[in-house]
Structure 1
């Protein structure tokens, strides 16, 4: 069939907002419990709650939590590691009250911790059960008052099966994470760090002899990020460190030097915005499996006991969790450029790496949803590297993933170039994720080109690249977004007159900062709960990020002039392009007031502006109806601004655009 020419942006597509959210889930953490697997599913259709699913050996799956409950912690506000399992029992933090619960087979969930004095004032995460099964250790975040300075993060110990008063084991550091008990139960390891560092800046790995109370700092310190401590069955402690530029794998034994296990280009570690990352796992034969990111893509590999590393060609481009199964197999949460995340079992050949060894066998245990669409509608990302500049104008390179328009039934009119959406990830220490996202394909199948920018500061390109954003937030990220758009326009892959920019959270800040430039090349932008006022963020945000800007911008209030200069809220006179603002009413990280000041300023100055406030949403939208409305509103916005018609059959409700 010959594609029919039609204006870019107006192409009819089966990838509607309804499809984006229908039966959609966010697969999260993965755990092995004997021969069973347990994983987390974020379900937009169930008010965004996190359900836990158990899969037994015969393939039967069971939802574990009763209706209305959600295994989600608010520690660090971003959560992670809100549940753990052992011998059929699940311990989890319930979202509504943040208390720790025990769920035994055939029983209703029972609270193990008392109701705190302040509602949701005691939050629990990142637990580990002692070898004897009698106690567990975990992170507790205690909120004694409303301010960030009222929050205390500690490691506590409590009984596994009956309510008890948590015993404080570790207190003093600003933050603690990953408490892990040695196989003999007599030694505790954990990660700690202090303001103004973030966990990807400077952390320490500490071990304590629980009988003597003696602490030993194993690794870390200023300029070294350590994460994911894990005890090997032989009693050695393994961990990730970026001491050689890349988050690599190391091993420590008491009384001996640290031994590098897997070191080289590529990131095994990830920035710990959320607790509980799992990027490597021990196999029974003495080998270790790990995921490593390079040039924007993940590769799953195995290091044998002899030190030989074998890369597994499995077709995955993003790996979120790696766990070892009994018998030498692996379980992973992973996806590809043409498939959403799924839970997969990987059976490895006995002679892995041998010339005549058979290929690993992949069995999908929790498949991605059946989309029922022609693969020709899917745009496959191309990793790109393009020239940009630093704060002084010196040349440097930046990276991204470019998605061309893809639709088997439509093509652009002769001589017409597609509009470009420049997407900005959050963090800002995060990265573009090269796995099938219908949130991206929603745009490309309609005729948009998309570039997901890994600007300086992004993870996956080494410590030096990540550190480029230090002191330069609002400068390097903006420069790289402008450079990506200019490079693609020069390549003839995007219309230079129809460049648009969008992002959420930190990406929303970069969006606003780019639009607030007098020389901005962007025709329009969409800010999803974006930071508008850096001073307000520094003064009124949660503990985890309360000193983050010390490193990204400068210490406050000493560097107040820089905060003012880089805050879009102080440069609304430069905002001359149409803007859509999407905001959650219960956002504790970027409160609605920040968005509403920007909206009010544009409204007063006669600039086209749309504003949607979603009741009950926090920092990021989780409810299906809100995700759907946000997508359709943004498409309607671009249609108004760029001048294309929306497909009538979708019945999209136009967004209200003031000063249109």
Structure 2
């Protein structure tokens, strides 16, 4: 159950049918393009097709739909393919080689063309990105805009005469600073460019046309990602609010709101990390909540009668949901799977805040939750601290089986929104700038201290786990504090200089804002192996281009040479995260087996052995 559920992304609606990508761990982790009409689901991409873009490595915008055709990017060769609706065998449209990638597909109904972000490898010192137009009949690719390091969020006005899009350049990430460009679109490309908003210190997100002469977008100029509007009269902040209406643009098709009328949008509003769904009146500057109870609202899209979204839930798996705006009625179109756990066995997130240095930090706390699993009288539960990736990301409040796996076995879990996390405003994001490996570690340690003071956990049995950037925080916490007794590092970072040298274009300057280059050695756990005395287990995908395997291999070798109990599991064919059901299951079972050995308990589960070097237990 832990890893066999499908995942949903990139929800769209057109002409009475819904479309989405469905990640399938039981099909080697591929993403299938699914069409759902009148309650009937249909796969548009048969095996072995895998609808997934690799632009920026994280992809996004892997498909687009017209009246009679669906186009998608196939992961294997990164070319664009076409499928006739309601279904046919995919046919290749573009003829790029392995050095060319496409993402962010958008269909132009008036012009009969596809728009995309293209990324070309091998023609310069780093990949070259541009904004292109594709002729679906011939596969010819025309460059519309070039010269910036990155492009995203290109959107056509309703009459097809203008295009809005985002650009940004090194060393910025899109949550640091982007520019919103509006240009006229004609037969020969883009003309009359205007920079509407943004800059090196203003992050603009998700432009959407509400009319031919009115554009909605999100900007954090005020300190929070707020809804703004642009029309011939100028630019103004439409909905002033100390809450977030934007998200970090890790993927090209990231959406946090949808236009729902001449002056309204339906948006995910996040305050102190907690999300709600609201209707925002852009003219009155006011919001009103919608009567739906989910923990996240992803990939918002417009339908005939309302909006649809991919909803996370606190006590159930994620679902594709449609809500009728006139009545407030909601309908679940598809669910990740059936959950047959008894009532009362899911731990729900309790959002806590606590002092950390001279700041306030946040986390989601999950107490142990299983009536069949009780601790001995007077014994406090062990604690697993989890650290999200990014680091510009957030700890979600959705039901997560990686958390429930532990709470159902008598553990408490603290999922930390350390400084640098999103959902709390720009100032909170920027707490981490220049202090990665310090602020995040301090916040994790402060969270443990807070729970210890409240008498909710056993401070002598605390482990920490993280993936990607969270894997760096995990290693830094093990090296730079004495709070944790064991760690699990999933495709994490131990050597900052090696990461800066080896990582991909999108994140190639990211690390320099988080840590000054002069401090790379000081902040690298690899340089502090002498101070790292905790048993650690590493998990890594062999094909990871974001955090290459040399990171895990170097740390594993250093700890093994020192004599620390350490294990390393390499998953062949996996990238940045484990998509195959057997690998996801193996990872968490190996992690729990390892913690059992470190803390001296025997798991009730019949878990496969893990080859631990320098084991100090029988």
TM-score by length of 2: 0.96
Separation of aligned partners in 2, 1:192 and 1:322: 23
Query: Which moved further from structure 2: 305-314 or 289-298?
Result: 305-314
Tell me which residue corresponds to 2:209: 231
Query: Which moved further from structure 2: 450-459 or 275-284?
Result: 275-284
Give RMSD over aligned pairs.
1.4
Runs of 4+ in 1 over 3 A off after TM superposition: none
Separation of aligned partners in 1, 2:114 and 2:251: 20
Tell me which residue corresponds to 1:492: 455
Tell me the CA shift for residue 261 of structure 1.
Answer: 2.2
**Aligned counterpart in structure 2 of residue 408 of structure 1, from 363, 366, 371:** 371
Tell me which residue corresponds to 1:373: 341
Separation of aligned partners in 2, 1:345 and 1:370: 19
Aligned-partner SS, 1:376 = coil
1:158 aligns to 2:134 (yes or no) = yes
**Aligned counterpart in structure 1 of residue 501 of structure 2, from 508, 519, 539:** 539
| 1:179-237 CA distance string (max 9 Å, x none) | 11222222121100000000000000001123472210000002100010111234311
| 1:478-530 CA distance string (max 9 Å, x none) | 1111111111112111111001100000000000011112x421000000010
- Contact persistence 1:290–1:301 (CA under 8 A): yes
Tell me which residue corresponds to 1:638: 595
Separation of aligned partners in 1, 2:312 and 2:322: 13
Which residues of structure 1 form unaligned runs of 5+? Answer: 1-18, 350-357, 390-394
Tell me which residue corresponds to 2:94: 113
1:602 aligns to 2:559 (yes or no) = yes
Separation of aligned partners in 2, 1:400 and 1:505: 19
Aligned-partner SS, 1:156 = strand
Tell me the CA shift for residue 312 of structure 1.
Answer: 1.5
**Which residues of 2 match residues 115-130 of structure 1 at below 5 A?**
115-116=96-97, 119=98, 121-130=99-108
TM-score by length of 1: 0.90
Of structures 1 and 2, the one scoring higher in RCO (CA 8 A, sep 6+) is 1
Tell me the CA shift for residue 286 of structure 1.
Answer: 4.2
Tell me the CA shift for residue 115 of structure 1.
Answer: 3.1
Tell me which residue corresponds to 1:387: 355
Tell me which residue corresponds to 1:20: 2
Tell me the CA shift for residue 125 of structure 1.
Answer: 0.8
Separation of aligned partners in 2, 1:410 and 1:135: 59
Tell me the CA shift for residue 571 of structure 1.
Answer: 1.1
Aligned-partner SS, 1:39 = strand
1:296 aligns to 2:270 (yes or no) = no
Tell me which residue corresponds to 1:658: 613
Aligned-partner SS, 2:318 = strand
1:174 aligns to 2:136 (yes or no) = no
- Contact persistence 1:111–1:163 (CA under 8 A): no
**Aligned counterpart in structure 2 of residue 440 of structure 1, from 384, 403, 410:** 403
- Contact persistence 2:210–2:263 (CA under 8 A): no
| 1:109-138 CA distance string (max 9 Å, x none) | 12121132xx2x111111222231411211
Distance 1:499 1:577, change over 3 A: same
**Which residues of 2 match residues 464-483 of structure 1 at below 5 A?**
464-483=427-446
- Contact persistence 2:157–2:212 (CA under 8 A): no
Query: Which moved further from structure 2: 28-37 or 82-91?
Result: 82-91
| 1:266-320 CA distance string (max 9 Å, x none) | 1110001111112111224642111111122210001247634211231111111
Tell me the CA shift for residue 388 of structure 1.
Answer: 0.5
| 1:322-364 CA distance string (max 9 Å, x none) | 111113x111111221122101111123xxxxxxxx6x11111
**Aligned counterpart in structure 2 of residue 76 of structure 1, from 30, 37, 56:** 56
Separation of aligned partners in 2, 1:130 and 1:344: 27
Tell me which residue corresponds to 1:196: 171
Separation of aligned partners in 2, 1:631 and 1:548: 29
Separation of aligned partners in 1, 2:2 and 2:524: 33
- Contact persistence 2:7–2:336 (CA under 8 A): no
Tell me which residue corresponds to 2:298: 320
Tell me which residue corresponds to 1:620: 577
Separation of aligned partners in 2, 1:305 and 1:510: 40
Tell me which residue corresponds to 1:429: 392
- Contact persistence 1:504–1:527 (CA under 8 A): yes
1:220 aligns to 2:220 (yes or no) = no
Tell me which residue corresponds to 1:354: none
Separation of aligned partners in 1, 2:444 and 2:405: 21
1:566 aligns to 2:523 (yes or no) = yes
**Aligned counterpart in structure 2 of residue 41 of structure 1, from 22, 30, 39:** 22
- Contact persistence 2:239–2:282 (CA under 8 A): no
Q: How many residues were matched structurally?
A: 610
